[in-house]
Amino acid sequence: MDETLMDKHAVPKAKRRKQQQITWSLIKSQRQLIFMSVPLLAYIILFAYVPVWGWTMAFQNYKPARSFGQQEWVGFKQFKFLFTDDSFLRVLRNTLGMSIINLVLGFVTAIALALLLNEIKNIFWKRTVQTISYLPHFLSWIIVTGIVATSLASDGIINDVLMRLHLIKEPILWLSEGKYFWGVVGASHVWKEVGWNTIIYLAAMAAIDPSLYEAADIDGASRYRKMLHVTLPGIKPTIVILLIMSIGHILEAGFEVQYLLGNGLVVDWAETIDIFVLKYGIAQGNYSLATAGGIFKTVVSVTMLLLANWTAKRLGEERLL
């Protein structure tokens, strides 16, 4: 009886020992890759995880001159202030509104442009259009907002064209009325990033099996039918993955474009969480409030990312995790 029990215990130990040998042999065979990843791992730990220690400021009445042990702990006071402050609720509305507009416009325009570029047969013309479309990506927001402000001025090109087409009778003050601001921000993001965003979709289209297009030609499918039934399904996994990643940044509506184009007339529509943190947190020395705002953004982003990934899994689509 004892020998039987010993044999039963010996078998799992032998399996574990064999698995350990396999693991160590795999590590040994890939030691060069592991050594190469050490600097990246150190970078992530140093700049992504070590700063998390600073989150403790959100639960303190933080004073820079005091040591950690001398700080006054106030619990969730800063978070309670955020969610009861009308200004923060307003900037949360603005952030979500502009972020959703950027998300929808960014996806639709990038996919549409990629589909159209994929149908261009002349390589020179295709590369020319693609190069022109993604050049604005390399411009800083300082330059972009300057171009936008000049174009939308009362005597700018936008008002001039609309008046010549008899669509408006007098110039519109685009940057002086809040109802236009979100649309201006969305259009600015599209103009700057649409060409750059098409690159990954064009790469995904290049990986589609050409025999699928040949079969569609034999069946008499038009170019629009091939786009709808061959190209779009072929890049569907890429679209889903990028959508999941974008949903994880739902509170990243931007900072530069709102800060540079915003003014006192549209402040109720232009302020985002980042501007709120800068104005009421960092600029006034209330670092605890600024940290609480950052934590809120991070928690919401991670939650939305996991929720989007879970939804994609439930629907049988590609997912990150």
**Model confidence over 261-273: pLDDT tens digits?**
988 889 999 999 9
Rounded to whole angstroms, how far apart are CA atoms 78 and 56? 12
Does the pLDDT value for residue 221 go beyond 60? yes
Rounded to whole angstroms, how far apart are CA atoms 9 and 32? 37
Q: What is the pLDDT of residue 12?
A: 67
Which band of pLDDT confidence, cut at 50, 70 and 90, is reported for residue 52?
A: confident
Global pTM exceeds 0.85: no
3-state secondary structure 44-102: HHHHHHHHHHHHHHHHEECCCCCCHHHCEECCCHHHHHHHHCHHHHHHHHHHHHHHHHH
* Token pair belonging to 214: 């040949």
Rounded to an integer, the average pLDDT of 128-141 is: 91
Which band of pLDDT confidence, cut at 50, 70 and 90, is reported for residue 137?
A: very high
Given the candidates 1.10.3720.10, 1.10.620.20, 3.10.310.30, 1.20.1080.10, the CATH classification of the domain at 76-315 is: 1.10.3720.10
Q: What is the pLDDT of residue 5?
A: 46
Rounded to whole angstroms, how far apart are CA atoms 149 and 200? 30
Q: Which helix or strand (DSSP H or E) is residue 159 part of? A: helix 157-164
Contact of 193 with 137, CB cutoff 8 Å: yes
Beta-bridged to residue 73, according to DSSP, are 60
What's the mean pLDDT when you consider all of the chain? 88
Q: How far is CA 12 from the centre of its chain?
A: 47
Rounded to whole angstroms, how far apart are CA atoms 268 and 184? 15
Does the pLDDT value for residue 313 go beyond 50? yes
Contact of 74 with 60, CB cutoff 8 Å: yes
Listed by start position, the domains of the chain span: 76-315
Rounded to whole angstroms, how far apart are CA atoms 250 and 272? 12
Does the pLDDT value for residue 67 go beyond 90? no
Q: Which amino acid is at 46?
A: L
